[in-house]
Amino acid sequence: MARMALLDDIGCPDDVRKLTTQQTEDLAEEIRTFLIDNVSRTGGHLGPNLGVVELTIALHRVFDSPHDPIIFDTGHQSYVHKILTGRAAGFDKLRQRGGLSGYPSRSESAHDWVENSHASTSLSWAEGIAEGFLSRGEDRTVVAVIGDGALTGGMAWEALDSIADQQDLRLVIVVNDNGRSYTPTVGGLANQLAIIRTDPHYEEALDRMKRHVTEKPLGKQVFGLMHAAKAGVKDALIGNGIFSDLGIKYLGPVDGHDVSSVERALELAKRYEHPVIVHVMTTKGKGFAAAEANEEDHFHAVGQIDPKTGESLKAAGGASWTHAFAGAMVELGERRPDVVGVTAAMLHPVGLAPFAARHPERVLDVGIAEQHAVTAAAGMAAAGLHPVVALYSTFLNRAFDQLLMDAGLHHAGVTIVLDRAGITGTDGASHNGMWDMVICGIVPGLMLSAPRDRQHLISVLDEAVDTDDRPTVIRYSKAPMPDDIPVVSSHDGLDVLREGSEDGILVVAHGQLCTDALKAADSLDVPVRVVSPRWSLPVCEGLLEEASRAHAIISVEDGLVVSGLGSHLADALSERGVWRPIRNLGIPQRYLDHDSRSAIMAELGLNAEGIAEAVAQLASQLDTQ
């Protein structure tokens, strides 16, 4: 790559502070070129970072990181921050084993205070850190950069309410207002921010008032009243009191692509030494024509792409679980007027967009608010609808109480469809969908299915929307959907995928891992019987019968092995007074470093080779007993 005159000499924020205003503008262009060139090769969150280039430069010129913590929410906006804090050289291995994380990472740099990969948490972190500094008498300012839809999350507003009562805190809240999360941000808050973004009269009126007042006798004294007048004018002109009503000082809106303007606002906020909101307007995908023209998500996250055209360079893979679900939902919508879709700012990523195109009045996008999504769905069920809530698996974690106490306790007929369940890989520990089966297993009466192919997915989705007395959950992988797997026989909720001695080794496979389990069985000389339940929870009668006859059992699942599906099977057998050797293959109870999905699965022994090795070891142990 050609030398970048300024960027190549940036090793820490001190280097950024030495630049002239013109140099900061040149640096911004170099950073955009750097991002496009590098992220197009590795994949990652391109659009959000192109939008915060000038903002991040200004942050590091005004504040002294890491002495002054800068917390990014959501954390995928932190690429420019990484570049300015000495990590540019690591971008050739972004989101790869041994390379940079796609989110802030404390193991990478002291400049990363919080590994903030789930949205709407930064303000709580920031208040807590600022409270700690205040208690210790430390002269430090905390900065929280919240945007890309994160203000639609309820936790952010809980924090704002609390911060408003803590006026001694040195806390600057930067609202990065790009009008979007994955797609255009929805909700009343978004509408209010849009009013501020688009009304030209606000700053014009203030400027006229300032000039008129200061030209008069006693003008300077009168101008001292402007602070109070400003809030009144703002509310009168644009009808917006969302921040002033909280009692937090508000500055803006500011052009987020003008380094000097952002610097001035941040300097004022820092000098104030109390909680301040700085409202910065940015454009997602700024400076990359293909991203700016992409109306769906402005290249929110990309795989490998052409750095000039933005076209994907990834060869077409197998069938997609998301695409199969999308088609099934459209068909359901035609047959079932009571079926509605619910999502949390991810209409396109989870596959609800085709359903929404057909039935726009039957889709609720709640923003980044999974808790609200699940409880609202329970309310819809109480009113006679059957909601299908589509989320990424990792985000169900945030709605556990609502699943347990609102959907579960009320026996609500709610279906939750979890995309990207199991190992996702490159986004790191927070985004692996490894917790959902443990969470769901706690909810009394809940039904959970991990479909193994398209036919299985469609059939359990049909059953789920026919279930009106309990929540149902369907989970599937990020990996390509396998071809339909032939079923040898079925009984009592269990499908037999491969014949074998009924009193030999029984392999119980769930979801995506059925294909690997069959490959493993075919590679062995040991007689292995492979079965897969239609619904993994509760444990079906057919599985209990098969397990009771087997000599030993191996459970194969792509979820947390502790309290996972194998554990549920062992507990159910124990209640019947049946003991069998059970080896549970799954994800260990630890946070996993970012890497490709295939590499992590191989490391955990959750591919065909690993499953075959586990079966062979168990068979050998049985032979020696």
What pLDDT digit, counting tens, does each position of 578-619 carry? Answer: 999 999 999 999 999 899 999 999 999 999 999 999 999 998
Q: Determine the 3-state secondary structure of 391 from DSSP.
A: strand
Residue 312 maps to a domain: no
| Residues 361, 288 share a domain | no
Q: Is 284 a catalytic residue?
A: yes
DSSP class of residue 596? -
Ligand-binding site membership of 607 (annotated): no
Displacement of CA 198 from its chain's centroid (Å): 29
Inter-residue long-range contacts of 517-521, CB under 8 Å, 24+ positions, other chains counted: 517/556, 517/608, 517/611, 518/485, 519/608, 519/611, 519/612, 520/608, 520/609, 520/611, 520/612, 520/615, 521/612, 521/615
Q: Is 288 among the annotated ligand-binding positions? A: yes
Q: How many domains does the chain have?
A: 3
Query: Same structural domain for residues 378 and 522?
Result: no
Sign of the dihedral defined by the CA atoms of residues 183, 187, 189, 193, in that order: positive
pLDDT digits (tens, 9 = 90+) for 437-487: 999 999 999 999 999 999 999 999 999 999 999 999 999 999 999 999 999
Whether residue 494 sits in one domain with residue 461? no
pLDDT in tens, 492-543: 999 999 998 877 899 999 999 999 999 999 999 888 999 999 999 999 999 9
Please indicate, yes or no, whether residues 234 and 360 belong to a single structural domain of this protein: no
Report yes or no on 272 lying in a domain. Answer: yes
Given 54, 127, 370, 546, the catalytic residue: 370
Is 150 labeled as ligand-binding? yes
Residues 6+ apart with CB under 8 A from 76: 45, 48, 49, 102, 103, 117, 148, 301
Whole-number Å distance between alpha carbons of 291 and 356? 23
329 with 471, same domain? Answer: yes
Domain final position from 278, 293, 308: 293
**Has residue 60 been placed in a domain?**
yes
- Same domain membership, residue 274 and residue 155: yes
149 in a labelled binding site: yes
- 266 within a domain of the structure (yes/no): yes
Q: Is 361 a catalytic residue?
A: no
Q: Which of 32, 180, 270, 284 is catalytic?
A: 284
Q: Please pick, among 32, 398, 420, 597, the residue that the annotation labels catalytic.
A: 398
Give the mean pLDDT of the chain: 88
Give yes or no: 398 in active site: yes
Integer CA distances (angstroms), 284 to 70, 264, 292, 316, in order: 20, 22, 7, 27
Q: What are phi and psi of 561, to 5 degrees?
A: -70, -30
Is 148 annotated to bind a ligand? Reply is yes
Q: Which two tokens stand for residue 313?
A: 């360079």
Residues 285 and 332 in one domain: no
Residue 299 lies in a domain: no
Residue 118 annotated as part of some ligand binding site? yes
**86 contacts 109 by C-beta, under 8 angstroms:** yes
CATH code for the domain in which residue 361 is found:
3.40.50.970
Predicted confidence (pLDDT) per residue in 263-306, tens digit: 999 999 999 989 999 999 998 888 787 888 887 778 877 888 88
Does residue 527 sit in the same domain as residue 390? no
Q: Check residue 307 and give its pLDDT.
A: 84
Residue 345 is part of which domain span?
Answer: 321-475
**Contact at 8 Å (CB) between 253 and 278?**
no
| 440/503 same-domain check | no
To the question of whether residue 119 is assigned a binding role by annotation, the answer is: yes
Q: According to the annotation, is 370 in a ligand binding site?
A: yes
At a CB cut-off of 8 Å and minimum separation 6, what does 44 contact?
79, 94, 95, 102, 301, 302
Question: Higher pLDDT residue, 291 or 197?
Answer: 291
Three-state SS at 180: strand
Q: Are residues 401 and 332 part of one domain? A: yes
Under 8 Å between Cβ of 254 and 246: no
- β-strand pairing of 489-491 with 494-498: antiparallel
* Most confidently modeled range among 36-45, 46-55, 220-229, 409-418: 409-418
Q: Are residues 501 and 461 in the same domain?
A: no
Query: Which residue, of 250, 277, 293, is where some domain finishes?
Result: 293
Cα gap 566→563, rounded to integer Å: 8
Q: Are strands 386-392 and 415-421 parallel, antiparallel or unpaired?
A: parallel
Residue 148 pLDDT greater than 60, yes or no: yes
Tokens encoding 460: 């359990």
Last residue of a domain, one of 419, 450, 475: 475
Tokens linked to 228: 């109070």
SS (H, E, C) 309-331: CCCECCCCCCECHHHHHHHHHHH
Q: What percent of the chain has pLDDT over 90?
A: 69
Q: Which is higher by pLDDT, 78 or 315?
A: 78
